Structure 1
Amino acid sequence: MPGQHPHRAGRAVSGGHDDSGIAGSALEGGSLSWRARASTFLATSALAGPLAGAAAHAETAVASVAGLSVSAIDVMQLAVFVGVTGAALISAIVLIRERARTSAENVELRSRLADINAALRRSEALLNLRDQRVVVWAAENKKPELIGTLPVESGAPEDRAAFLAFGRWLMPRSAAALEHAVAGLREKAKPFDLVIESQAGAPLEVHGRKSAAHVLVRFLSLSETQRSQARLKIENQRLAADHDTMIGLLDALNMPAWLRGEDGGLKWVNRAYADAVEAENAEAAVREKKEFLGGQARDAIAAQHRTHPVFEQSLSSVIEGDRRVFAVTDFAGSDGSAGLACDTSAIEAVRGEYERTVRSHADTLDQLNTAVAIFDTDEKLRFFNQAFQKLWGLEAGFLH
């Protein structure tokens, strides 16, 4: 009956040929060509899943129209397979490229590591020389690391603890300066360059620097020429320290003190000198050339220096309207002179009073009828009265 075989309906013969078979073949060929194109598209697209479902639906519709026996499940499985294969291919390509990039980076890192190791070996070779030693603090709470050695003649100990105890093998002044400099470097990042002296008499150069993560103090042994220069530098530092000490002492004395240049002009005076000449301060006294002693006293000092470098004499000077007596000592050197004045006015007053008392007592004893004679510890006659002279009948010249 019509309608019982719907798949066979629509067959037509034209000119003795079966057109239905030809049409079916054409449809089937067209369907296979479309599947190949869809597979290529799905393999290169990230939307393989959704497109696979759409392709399955279209395939089912076409198959229904064309009367083919291809199911939707077969089409979906083919689309999923093609999508997974394409994704795997793309992933493989990406992984290959990433591996190549990683391999290139590893080669570069190996090259850089080899360069760093070579530089480290060079640095260690330089630091391990016997003419220098480096102390490295890596962190605030970690013990320092010591690299390199110093010559035996430098007097520096090899033991780590003994080396870090600077006061045991350095001169006291050098040890104090080094410890102060290291503390300033570690706490305030203040670099320093010092020349220190060991107890063996060997000079050493010390350089302190601080980087972002390390504190480095390097001790260098010097050549003979450098040692001579270092000794001169140490001697200069010692003389400068002694000069400052002596200047501080003279400035603290309550006695006028002064330094003169080769031309005889004032170079330095202390506070007592400035107070004695009524100057605002010591610098003003030097600048205004205020003299403590009079012209005759200065001439006497200059005349004495022509034949003898030391002048010692009591001189008088007017201070705050009063005439006072000073025991002046002045020494002339090759580049100038230095002087010190001690106020002896009180002593002179006591001496005058004593002499007046002695004369008064002598006059009193001389009026006595009793013979009186006074001898000193050396049994020399120091005093006699007229009664003593008459008692023994001796002449005054002989008794004196």
Structure 2
Amino acid sequence: MKLRKNILQPLRMEWHGCPSPPLTPLSGDRSVAQLLGYAPLHSLLQRPRGLMQAYGLDRRGSLLANIFRIANRTHAIVDRVVIFAPPEIKLAIESVWSTCCQPFWNELSRGDRGSKPRITFVGHDLDNDSIQGALHMLGTHRDLHCHDIADRWAMVIMEPDQGSLRSDLAFRYFLPALRRQLDNDSARIGESVVAVTSRNNRWLDRYKGLGLSQYVDLADRIGVPDSISTAATLLSAALLGVNVMELLAGASAGSQCTEQSFELSCSPIHLALANGSIHPFWSPHPRILQLWGSSLRPIGEWYETIVDAWLPNTFATSRFGCESVEFPSKDTFDPAQSPIPLSRCVRHHITTGAWRFDALELEPGETLPSKWRSELELGIEQGQQSALAQTQIDLPIIDELHVGQLMQWFQIATAIERWLHDCALAAVESGGN
């Protein structure tokens, strides 16, 4: 088993059963300028390279510098990090974790994890038994005093709002347990708790009032569409030992691809238009994300959340491999009568040209990846027989550079879809064609 060297390559996008959508909705310099000036999209395009540039100029006081400092300190003192985060940011973190780390990360020894911590999510679902189970796992029911690194754990509380049940749970149950296990040593407690929130959040005063000082400023709200490059995701990636700079470099490449879209045959703009090209008048329509790799599954779930947040009347679902899809009723269809037909959907196959580890051989001439490739070709063929509009987005390899690109593509395309949808509604309301 060996890891391959990461080299930045562009994502490849092919169309199956439908032509590459023309950029006619964006014809003319004015339309392009309006699109690139759309505030959420502009922020999304600029943020990855802005973070890298700020770090290059200030290796001590920038956001990334603070993230790296906290991550490096945490690596040295604990074996597990308990993360309190809302569901959407949990999915963004899991997308990076699943694709960029060993699949059985938490089961590995500390040495095999490169002295990086295990990760445990708590409070995202507000489920009583899972929270109690986490407390039990951390040994809070025992008179445990954590002097060995194998027993020590840290808390990261990601709080975008003024207060939530997650932060209440953290302060009511987990922080007292941590204090007991660390013998009320204020120095060790202070280095074992991190807050990720906005500077104007009143909850931060409560945090600092408890004598806690490790803080990462969330310059913009946790969530979509920028969750790949928010402090919450980047800190979690750094805690796992993921190459954050490569993740951001990949996202920045996705931004550059968008800005150069008229010179390219595929880009996030093409993806956005493909998601509405079936309709005579642009409107986002249902889509299926077909994920050909188990490590990609969290990305599918994360994508569903950003579509739901930005295109609330648009249905998105993800499936693993050749799993079939049954759409629920939605939008203009009678919920009790008519399911959405596949003819109104577009399916995106997310594939990889090279796996992170060496291919396992099944028999002479056939490996597990080649078996998957055969299943993929069969799935595309069946989709074509059903007149289903399909694309295939291929990652040259599953690593930070290309996962960063892929997630940035999805975020950018979703923001563009929202802009196109708003423009279409405005045209209808003004009596335009």
TM bracket, shorter-chain basis? under 0.3
Larger RCO of the pair (alpha carbons < 8 Å, separation 6+) = 2
Normalised to the residue count of structure 1, the TM-score between the two structures is 0.18
Normalised to the residue count of structure 2, the TM-score between the two structures is 0.17
The structure in which a higher percent of residues are helix is 1
